[in-house]
Amino acid sequence: MFEVVIGLEVHIQLNTKTKIFCSCATSFGEKANTNVCPVCLGLPGALPVLNKEAVKKAINFGYAVNATVHKKSVFNRKNYFYPDLPKGYQISQFEIPIVENGELFIDFEDGSQKRIGITRAHLEEDAGKNIHEEGYSKVDLNRAGTPLLEIVSEPDIRSIDEAIKYLKKLHSIVRYLDISDANMQEGSFRCDVNVSIRPKGDEKLYTRVEIKNMNSFKFIQKALEYEIQRQIEAWEDGVYEKEVVQETRLFDLPSGTTRSMRGKEDSDEYRYFPEPDLLPVILDDKMLEEGKEIPELPDEKKERYIKEYKIKEYDAAVITSSLLMANFFEEMISEGASAKNSVIWLTVELLGRLKNGLSLETSPVDAKKLSALIKRIEDNTISGKAGKDVLDYLMENDEEVDSVIEKLGLKQVSDEGALLVIIDEILKNNQDKVEEYRAGKDKLLGFFVGQCMKASRGKANPAKINQLLKEKLT
């Protein structure tokens, strides 16, 4: 009945060494108010100088999302008062951002993709931080002046799932480009979520609510669930006009609800005007050309994997979603595991075992070891099932694959002599079934295989057992 409309504004902190308009360090977690100078403190008379690295990273981003990178862009003053903003204005780009009209593709489980438009991406400076504790409010200005790229999407997103997919794809792209560490806990990748509803089939955009400053996929999910439900209920109860107004809301984690923070400020309330202390940014051809030099991105890598390794589209999307995982996968293959098994053992078996704060980065089993394990399955030394036991063991113990196989006694028996002993025994004990099989009850083969596997305590090579049984039974 209703359709959800979502547009996202994401702020990423660019990983330059120094701030956007001064040479203070951008390092995180320093003692309060130590990475500051007259420029980022907003002292009178101090003059900003634009950091070229920040501009380069913005250009890289523009080309990565097929956008227009403007040769000329302009910084403005966005005026407002807040204790963490000592100048009384933020330097940001407004009418002429550096990047405009881009796109990004999100991946669905069935292998299809959807395009989400990127309206613009502009450079700006971050504010400081207010800290409220023990009855005091304190201001830390270490973050003031850190370079941000604000990336604004079109209202093309139609579900919570699409919103999360968009954010994950964007997160992945900026990490591939190495323009941001995109660490969500530290606030280097945070998001304002704009959401409205409309009757399905209606083309017009309805009133949107903006949920500010979200820095976790899980919270974004929860905030959207609540807010969409609130809007739908207001509509159904006939109080939509009254309850759903254009405003900024905050997500309250303990209650899982959103609440009104302030009414919508119009852009003219910020009294934007061109920053008089900075010239317009003019990019020369050399900078534009160099900005096009970007690494292989998730979508290209995905296409290459599909072609090169013949793996499924969605598997390729999952693996290329992080550079770390893609590199892990490629290392497994170069170590000799097949692509098909590498996909399964990486995305299902290993990822499924990385719990309790473990990630691929801190995984006790590295690509080389996982590949060694797969090779032992592929050369029939152990069964796939035994492989899972070996992996369980390796998650807890730093040992070599072959010695674990030995230690756990998992080596598969392929030796014909040994297998025939088992087979003869089983056939002898099941004379009646042998008769039935020979009389045409083919289904019984499975029974014999099962018995032999059981007798070998799972160690017999099943393919070999199958073959030998057939020979014996004819």
Catalog residues that contact ligand ADP under the rule CB under 6 A: 5-9, 152-155, 194-196, 205-206, 208, 267
Nearer of residues 229 and 359 to ligand ADP, judged by Cβ: 229
Note whether 40 binds Zn ion by CB under 5 A: yes
What is the C-alpha to C-alpha distance for residues 178 and 334, in angstroms, rounded to an integer?
A: 25
With tokens 């000799």, the residue in question is: 336
Question: Which of Zn ion, ligand ADP, none interacts with 24 (beta carbon under 5 to 8 A by kind)?
Answer: Zn ion
In Å, what is the CA distance from 305 to each residue of 115, 165, 166, 310? Answer: 21, 20, 21, 7
Rounded to a whole number of angstroms, the minimum distance from the CB of residue 117 to ligand ADP is 8
Q: Whose Cβ is closer to ligand ADP: residue 152's or residue 390's?
A: 152
Closest residue to ligand ADP in the complex (CB): 7
Asked if residue 283 binds Zn ion (CB under 5 A), the reply is: no
Task: Please state whether beta strands 136-140 and 273-274 pair in parallel, antiparallel, or not at all (unpaired).
Answer: unpaired
Give the range of 31-39, 56-64, 172-180, 301-309 binding Zn ion by CB under 5 A. 31-39
Query: Which of Zn ion, ligand ADP, none is residue 37 near (CB under 5 to 8 Å by kind)?
Result: Zn ion
Buried b (16+ CB within 10 A) or exposed e, 259-282: eeeeeeeeeeebebeebeebeebe
Minimum CB distance to Zn ion smaller for 36 or for 391: 36
Query: Taking CB within 5 to 8 Å according to partner kind, which of ligand ADP, Zn ion, none is near residue 137?
Result: none
What whole-number distance in Å separates Cα of residue 266 and Cα of residue 269?
5
Of 151, 131, 149, whose CA–CA distance to 141 is shortest? 131
- Contacted entry of ligand ADP, Zn ion, none for residue 155, CB cut-off 5 to 8 Å set by kind: ligand ADP
By a kind-dependent CB cut-off of 5 to 8 A, residue 208 interacts, out of Zn ion, ligand ADP, none, with ligand ADP
Nearer to ligand ADP, 7 or 291 (CB): 7
Residue 147 near which of Zn ion, ligand ADP, none (CB within 5-8 Å, type-dependent): none
Beta strand 72-73 with 281-282: parallel, antiparallel or unpaired?
Answer: antiparallel
Question: What is the DSSP track for 386-442?
Answer: HHHHHHHHHHH----HHHHHHHTT-PPB--HHHHHHHHHHHHHHTHHHHHHHHTT-T
- Please report how close the Cβ of residue 257 comes to ligand ADP at its closest, in angstroms: 19
The answer to whether 365 contacts Zn ion (rule: CB under 5 A) is: no
**Type and span of the H or E element at 243:** helix 240-243
Min CB(184)–ligand ADP separation in Å? 19
| CA separation for the pair 303, 313 (Å, rounded) | 8
> Closest separation between CB of residue 372 and ligand ADP, Å?
47
Among Zn ion, ligand ADP, none, the one that 54 touches (CB under a kind-dependent 5 to 8 A) is: none
Cα separation, 5 vs 381, in Å, equals: 54
Query: What character string, x for contact with Zn ion (CB under 5 A) and - otherwise, covers 5-24?
Result: -----------------x-x
DSSP 131-153: EEETTEEEEE-TTTT-EEEEEEE
Q: Does 232 bind Zn ion (CB under 5 A)?
A: no
Calculate the CA 165 to chain-centre distance.
8
User: Of 249, 252, 235, nearest to 197 (Cα)?
Assistant: 235
Q: Which does 6 bind (CB under 5 to 8 A by kind): ligand ADP, Zn ion, none?
A: ligand ADP
Taking the complex as a whole, the smallest distance from the CB of residue 121 to Zn ion amounts, in Å, to: 24
Q: How far apart are CA 278 and CA 147, in angstroms?
A: 15
Q: Give contact residues for Zn ion (rule: CB under 5 A).
A: 22, 24, 37, 39-40
